[in-house]
C-alpha cells in the first residue's frame, strides 16, 4: 500500500480528557539506541536521524507522543530528543509520559518511586521536555499491589497544575477501579496485541471503552517479542492477511489493534523513517470481519 501521503488522521480521533489526538501516535522508546530497547552495549542512535523521525511524525499528523524520562541510552535521551526536535511544541501536540520505575545514570533499574519521590520524577520530565506542565502522566505499575497512595500523590500534582490528566500503565481492572476512586483516569496503557493478550486483557479493554477511557496497547507490533523487537518468524495467519492487503505484517497488527474499539490508540515506535510512514499508513487499513476472526484465532499468552 502507498504510505508516504497517508496522514495519522486516517485512523480517526479519540479524546484524552479535553485533548483530542489521532488514534495513531508515536512511541519514543526505540529512539535512543540501535537494537533492542534497554539492551546493554547497544550503540546510541543517530541523533540527526532520530530528530528527523520525530519531525516527520508530526508532519504526518501524529499529535500523540508517548515517552518517559527512563527512555535513555548512553548519549541519548528520548525526552531531550523530543524537546530538541519539536519545541516550541505545536498547539495540538499531546505528550504522554510515565513515572514509577526509574534508572540510575548507568542505566540500571531502581526500585519504583515511593509516593514522596513521584514529584521528583514528574519534575525530571518537565525539565527534560521543557514544559511547565505535563499533558498526561501515567503511573507505571509493577505487580498487583494497591495503587491508591501513589496515584493520590499524582492527583495532588494535578491539582497543583503540574499535570493536566492522569493515566495508568501495566494495570489490572481492580487497580483501575481503585485509581478511579481517587481521580479521573483518561488512559490505560497495557501490553496487548495479536498473540500476546494476557488473561483479563479483553475485559479491561471493554471496561475502558464503557468508561470512555482510552486503551493504549504497547508492543502491538512486537507481540511476544516485547522490548527485543519483532520476532523472526511471523504467524501464518498474519502473513496471509498481509498478502491480501499488500501490506506488511506490522501494518496488519496495527490495523487489528485499532479495530478492537474506537477508544483504542496505537503508539508504534521506530527510529526508521520508512517504518514510521508505514506505521502511520496502517491507520487507513480496514480489515474485514472474516479477517478479524482469522487473527483472533492466533490467541494470546
Q: Catalytic residues, which ones?
A: 71
Give CA–CA dist 69/46, Å, rounded.
Answer: 19
Of 179, 189, 100, 95, the residue nearest 142 (C-alpha): 100
Give the strand pairing for 94-99 and 76-77: unpaired
Residue with cell 518537565: 126
Q: How far is CA 196 from CA 122, 290, 295, 297, in A?
A: 30, 20, 12, 12
Check residue 222 and report its DSSP letter: T
Give CA–CA dist 93/186, Å, rounded.
Answer: 16
Check residue 89 and report its DSSP letter: P
* Contact call for residues 137 and 168 (beta carbons, < 8 A): no
Chain centroid to Cα 49, Å, comes to: 21
Amino acid at each position: 500500500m502507498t504510505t508516504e501521503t497517508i496522514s495519522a488522521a486516517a485512523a480517526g480521533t479519540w479524546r484524552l480528557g479535553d485533548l483530542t489526538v489521532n488514534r495513531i501516535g508515536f512511541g519514543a522508546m526505540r529512539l535512543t539506541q540501535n537494537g533492542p530497547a534497554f539492551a546493554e552495549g547497544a550503540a546510541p542512535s543517530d541523533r540527526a536521524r532520530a530528530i528527523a523521525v520525530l519531525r516527520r511524525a508530526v508532519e504526518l499528523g501524529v499529535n500523540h507522543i508517548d515517552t518517559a524520562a527512563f527512555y535513555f541510552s548512553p548519549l541519548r535521551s528520548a525526552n531531550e530528543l523530543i524537546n530538541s526536535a519539536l519545541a516550541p511544541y505545536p498547539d495540538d501536540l499531546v505528550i504522554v509520559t510515565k513515572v514509577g520505575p526509574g534508572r540510575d545514570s548507568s542505566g540500571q533499574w531502581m526500585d519504583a518511586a515511593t509516593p514522596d519521590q513521584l514529584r521528583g520524577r514528574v519534575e525530571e520530565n518537565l525539565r527534560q521536555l521543557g514544559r511547565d506542565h505535563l499533558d498526561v502522566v501515567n503511573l507505571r505499575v509493577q505487580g498487583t499491589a494497591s495503587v491508591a497512595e501513589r496515584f493520590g500523590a499524582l492527583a495532588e500534582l494535578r491539582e497543583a497544575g503540574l499535570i493536566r490528566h492522569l493515566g495508568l500503565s501495566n494495570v489490572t481492572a481492580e487497580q483501575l477501579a481503585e485509581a478511579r476512586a481517587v481521580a479521573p483516569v483518561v488512559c490505560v496503557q497495557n501490553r496487548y496485541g495479536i498473540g500476546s493478550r494476557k488473561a483479563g486483557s479483553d475485559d479491561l479493554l471493554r471496561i475502558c471503552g464503557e468508561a470512555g477511557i482510552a486503551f493504549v496497547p504497547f508492543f502491538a507490533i512486537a507481540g511476544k517479542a516485547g522490548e527485543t523487537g519483532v520476532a523472526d518468524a511471523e504467524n501464518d495467519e498474519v502473513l496471509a492477511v498481509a498478502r491480501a492487503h499488500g501490506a506488511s505484517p506490522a501494518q496488519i497488527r496495527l490495523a487489528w489493534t485499532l479495530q478492537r474499539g474506537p477508544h483504542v490508540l496505537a503508539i508504534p515506535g521506530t527510529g526508521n523513517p520508512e517504518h514510521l510512514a508505514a506505521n502511520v499508513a496502517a491507520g487507513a487499513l480496514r480489515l474485514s470481519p472474516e479477517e478479524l476472526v482469522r487473527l483472533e484465532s492466533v490467541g494470546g499468552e
